[in-house]
Amino acid sequence: MADEGNLEAEKDPTSNIGNASAGPSLDMGCLTRVLGFHLRMANVAIFQDYQQTMAGLSLTPKQFTVLELVGCNPGVVQIDIAELLSMDKATTMALVDRLEARSLLERRPSRTDRRRKELFLTEEGKKVLQEARELIALHEKRFTSRFSEAELKSFVEQLRRIYRPLPD
């Protein structure tokens, strides 16, 4: 039992974060050993830079993702996007609604199964997507530049290991 499920806050020298530039330098307790915590912190850091970069286009990361998916898969339906991104179908609905309200994509009923609404980018949507790709490339570079080619490859592989249900 001494090793099972133990997240007691033993003191260790890496137990402080936040001593980056000024910061309060708090004791992080068990958080230093919680993968989800580091993942969330990394996500927040990337998101903040993303927001600054994309302020002009006002596309959230998820909105960009959907735009890219529709761009690369014309006629894709909501349910497939929902499954791929692990979203509820109601959530996906709201997301697509916003993009449609901005005339970046449109829904067209499938001719073979009229329950399904196929998604297509509008001309405006294609233009915005291309602009977004260019901005995101610059944004990404600010982070990927902290890694060598090999490091980046293994880092991405490890991230995929987290979100792939089982190694395949």
Partner DNA sequence: TATTGTTATACTCTATAACTATA
Partner DNA sequence: TATAGTTATAGAGTATAACAATA
Within 55-114, which residues bind DNA (CB under 7 A)?
58, 60, 62-63, 77-79, 82, 86-91, 93-98, 107, 112-114
Looking at the Cβ atoms of 110 and 148, the one nearer to DNA is 110
| Residues in 118-157 that interact with DNA by CB under 7 A | none
| Residues in 6-65 that interact with DNA by CB under 7 A | 44, 48, 58, 60, 62-63
Looking at the Cβ atoms of 6 and 25, the one nearer to DNA is 25
Burial group, residue 119, by CB count within 10 angstroms (0-12, 13-18, 19+): buried
Taking CB under 8 A as the criterion, the residue among 10, 23, 91, 109 binding a copy of itself is 23
Asked if residues 32 and 15 have their Cβ atoms less than 8 Å apart, the reply is: yes
Taking CB under 8 A as the criterion, the residue among 111, 123, 141, 150 binding a copy of itself is 141
Cα 10 to chain centroid, rounded: 33
When asked if residue 117 is in the footprint of DNA (CB under 7 A), the reply is yes
Looking at the Cβ atoms of 101 and 152, the one nearer to a copy of itself is 152
**Binding partner of 93, given DNA, a copy of itself, none, CB within 5-8 angstroms per partner class:** DNA
Residue 108's closest CA among 95, 121, 90? 121
- Counting Cα atoms < 13 Å in the Cβ hemisphere of 82 gives 13
Q: Can you tell me which residue has the tokens 């970069």?
A: 53
105-109 and 76-77 as β-strands: parallel, antiparallel, unpaired? unpaired
At residue 76, φ and ψ (nearest 5 deg) are -60, 150
Contact footprint for DNA (CB under 7 A): 44, 48, 58, 60, 62-63, 77-79, 82, 86-91, 93-98, 107, 112-117
